[in-house]
């Protein structure tokens, strides 16, 4: 299951690919359209009212797992483009029409990406450029995405049963590579819903890639099958990255893991943009 954030007028909207199309968090959409202090409560009341009125709108929602503010995957009411169009009609907001246009554009982009997968990569690069990341950082981030995709495909082929097993194996790699699981790393950087790797420095990205690439290679060479054997491979791959990180820290006298993240304005952005590969 692929999950990504979409942005409408600076509001983040969680979404996930389900049955070949984007499904969006209804709570996030309510928050973007209403500016409600408690978008969850707004949606619960709206859903209750629609149910009492006998509306079929609620039937267009499915509980799909999205990353919650605490960093964990939780079931969230989601709707596809058609369902959201119907829900929006029940939300009085001056942003409704601009949101409909945005939603139609996002849905059309997904159709284009299915026909030409390279478009997704191009759009991801454009998004990072718009956020102010350096070209050197973007190259590493995109390479990291490819390495991660190769690893998860390997896990799939070797009998690892998706989430939450992918998450456990990922935590195994990160713990061995950095001494922290991804959730602990996010706390270390002061992140909540944000993507951890989008807030990593060049070196953090490099060692993340090393751990995952090493895990893929070990799983192949040792023909790891099933979750237990792949967990062993994940720990070994992570330790390769961890030992390399520790050696670099001894030579430089500086820690690779840093509390800096892209949200630190403005100095962190300057450092990220100025750091050489």
Distance CA 61, CA 96 (A): 19
| Integer Cα distance of 256 and 86 in angstroms | 48
pLDDT surpasses 70 at 271: no
The domain spans of the chain are 15-113, 132-270
Tell me what pLDDT residue 117 has: 55
Q: What is the mean pLDDT of the chain?
A: 83
Rounded to 5 degrees, φ, ψ at 16 are -145, 150
Tell me the C-alpha distance between 81 and 91, whole Å: 15
pLDDT at 115 over 60: no
Dihedral-angle region of residue 180 (phi above 0 means left; psi in -120 to 50 means alpha; beta otherwise): beta
Complete DSSP assignment for 160-226: --STTHHHHHHHHHHHHHHSS-HHHHHHHHT-SSS-GGGG--HHHHHHHHHHHHHHHHHHHHTT--H
DSSP string, 64-131: EEEE-TTSSEEEEEEE-HHHHHHHHTTS--TTHHHHHHHHHHHHHHHHHHHH-THHHHHHHHHHHHHT
What is the pLDDT at residue 267?
Answer: 43
More confident site: 57 or 253: 253
pLDDT tens-digit series, residues 154-206 = 999 999 987 789 999 999 999 999 999 999 999 999 887 778 999 999 999 99
Residue 277 clears pLDDT 50, i.e. is over it: no
């Amino acid at each position: 299951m692929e999950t990504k954030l979409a942005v409408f007028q600076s509001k983040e909207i969680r979404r996930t690919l389900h049955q070949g199309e984007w499904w969006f968090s209804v709570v996030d959409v309510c928050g973007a359209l209403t500016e409600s202090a408690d978008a969850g409560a707004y949606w619960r009341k709206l859903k209750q009212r629609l149910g009492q009125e006998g509306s079929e709108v609620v039937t267009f929602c499915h509980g799909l797992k999205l990353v919650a503010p605490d960093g964990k995957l939780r079931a969230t009411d989601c709707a596809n483009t058609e369902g959201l169009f119907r829900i929006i009609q029940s939300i009085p907001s001056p942003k409704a029409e601009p949101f409909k246009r945005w939603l139609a554009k996002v849905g059309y982009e997904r159709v284009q990406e299915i026909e030409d997968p390279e478009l997704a990569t191009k759009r991801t690069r454009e998004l990072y450029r718009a956020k102010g990341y350096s070209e050197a950082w973007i190259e590493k981030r995109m390479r990291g995405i490819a390495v991660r995709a190769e690893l998860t495909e390997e896990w799939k082929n070797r009998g690892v049963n998706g989430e939450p097993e992918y998450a456990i194996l990922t935590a195994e790699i990160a713990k061995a590579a950095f001494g922290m699981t991804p959730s602990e790393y996010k706390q270390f950087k002061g992140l909540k819903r944000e993507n951890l790797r989008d807030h990593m420095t060049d070196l953090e990205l490099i060692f993340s890639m090393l751990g995952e690439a090493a895990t893929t290679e070990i799983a192949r060479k040792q023909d790891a099958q099933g979750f237990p054997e792949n967990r062993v491979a994940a720990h070994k791959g992570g330790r390769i990255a961890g030992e390399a990180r520790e050696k670099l820290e001894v030579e430089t006298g500086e820690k690779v893991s840093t509390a800096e993240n892209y949200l630190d304005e403005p100095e962190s952005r300057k450092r990220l943009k100025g750091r050489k590969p």
